Structure 1
Amino acid sequence: MEMDHIYGNVCEDKTESYRASQATLKATTKVQIPLLIIGAILLLGVAVLGTLTYKYASKLSDEQKKFALMDAQYKNISAVLNNTDAQYKDLLATYNISSGKLSDEQKKFALMDAQYKDISAVLNNTDAKYKDLLATYKICSTECSCRACPEGWKHHKGKCYLFSSSKMNWEGSRDHCITLGGHLIIVNNQEEQNFLAAQAKGVSHWIGLNDRAVEGQWRWVDNISLNETGAIFWYKRSDPNQADEPDNWKKEDPLGENCASIYLTADWHDNSCKTNYPFVCETLASS
């Protein structure tokens, strides 16, 4: 009878130990599964957003640097997430499954869960900035049509513009633009004139307008007359005793002033074609 009593106590101890172990394992699993799901969702989100970043960045021109920076931010977030995931796995590996230590380990899991939530918040914030950037530059919209410009050229309304840093006379400027696959700028409307003035920043630049063939008959480099385009922005002087532009001033050049530039005032002046100015080339943006 004494042996039966001892055997019974041993069975009860083993049964209670087994039940405690199973309860601890279930509690651990309940904590573990949600965090693993959070990690998987965040990793998937980073992967998807990284794919979107690459897809759109490959179609850009002037905005490539901005999108490259955004892509780097995503990669940094992914690295932080991977590091946190590694810490989580280490914690699981060293986790002591016992009911007595479960409350202490729960605190560690709570801290890990908070880290995941912080990363998720950063990811969501970066995603919002990325979407704002897409909206700002209207990626692949009907307005920009994903058109690209050569490096150093500025995109505007389906065209590319090069504001030179070097100076040449009017003929040299015209020929140089041709070698680059474009031509000296032809101003077609007020909106384009405003863009030209803003980019010239108060510095005189040659434009593609001249009356070298016949004095007073101003034509663009495509041989279209100024009157046909109807966009005319000659400088008008406030002093009635002084002539407005073009005035064909001959004191510096006996041949007169037969080539046009955008001047300091953001209006047009005629100048001697021999003068060296920066210049503006234009061409259609490539699709």
Structure 2
Amino acid sequence: MVDEDIYENMQVTEAAPQPKDLWGQSKLQVVEEAVHKLQVSLQPDNASDASAKGSDSLQLLDEAQAGVRMLKDQLGNVSAAYGEIQIRLDISAARAAVQDGCCDVLTKLPRGWRFYGGNLYYFSKGTKSWDEAEQFCVSWNLHLTSVSSQAEQEFLSNETQGKGHWIGLTDRETEGSWRWVDGTEYRADASRGFWAQNEPNYYDPGTDGGEDCVHTEPTKRNLWNDAKCTLRFRWICKQAHR
């Protein structure tokens, strides 16, 4: 069970209330009034008071500039406040994602799922054809497992308990062009050591329907063997790290 203190610390920090628009309106009004007075002052009634108007204009101009500086400073404070709020929201979203991930793992492990390398794997007890097995995984929004490394291959081999299991590798679309159904790139060079000896052997599709789906072969150190997709084996679903 997860320590309750962890959940307490993961609670979302209440965001600071957003600043109201009134302060911005009032400060803008101050600047607008100062500018308006400056415009009026620049239109002397007669030549006799032009000098006085000029002096007043300079004073009003200083007031307007001071108002602009004050407004910029407060806008900077608002920008900083919004930045802090955004950081809090990002942290809250990250905490929620971690909490959801932990709950997912804690829910699935007691049901027979296995956790390795940041991924979750489901090892079936029953048997299905390759298509039925893939459909089962899809019903969980997953796919039959891909294999990306020697370490992952060894993990899967140890967990299969001497039983053949379907994996998500097929060349149905183009004979000899293998692909992973979960979208992982198939790398022929890196995968060469995972095939059993003399596999894949591309059995003649004209006489036996072809061998377009791959399973682990327990009699061959759980290495890969291509077989007819209609055969029934156990299977492995993979939930990749999110």
TM-score normalized by the length of structure 2: 0.52
Partner of 2:153: 193
Q: What is the CA–CA distance in structure 2 between the aligned matches of 1:179 and 1:229, rounded to whole Å?
A: 32
SS at match of 1:268: strand
Partner of 1:154: 114
Distance 1:252 1:168, change over 3 A: farther
Residue 280 (structure 1) aligned with residue 241 (structure 2): no
- The residue type equivalent to 2:196 in the other structure is Y
Residue 164 (structure 1) aligned with residue 124 (structure 2): yes
Shift of 1:206: 0.1
Partner of 1:255: 209
8 Å CA contact 1:148–1:285 kept in 2: the answer is no
Distance 1:229 1:183, change over 3 A: farther
Partner of 2:4: 55
8 Å CA contact 1:188–1:229 kept in 2: the answer is no
Q: What is the CA–CA distance in structure 2 between the aligned matches of 1:168 and 1:56, rounded to whole Å?
A: 44
**What residue ranges of structure 2 are gaps of 5+ in the alignment?**
8-100
Aligned pair partner of 1:235 in 188, 192, 196:
196
8 Å CA contact 2:114–2:121 kept in 1: the answer is yes
Aligned pair partner of 2:223 in 267, 274, 280:
267
SS at match of 1:231: helix
1:158-213: CA deviation from partner (whole Å, max 9, x where unpaired): 11000001111001111110102211000000000000000012210000000111
Distance 1:147 1:234, change over 3 A: farther
Partner of 1:204: 164
1:211-248: CA deviation from partner (whole Å, max 9, x where unpaired): 11111111110344522683341111xxxxxxx01112
8 Å CA contact 1:147–1:285 kept in 2: the answer is no
Identity, % of aligned positions = 30
Partner of 1:117: none
TM-score normalized by the length of structure 1: 0.45
**What residue ranges of structure 1 are gaps of 5+ in the alignment?**
1-51, 59-144, 237-243
- The residue type equivalent to 2:231 in the other structure is T
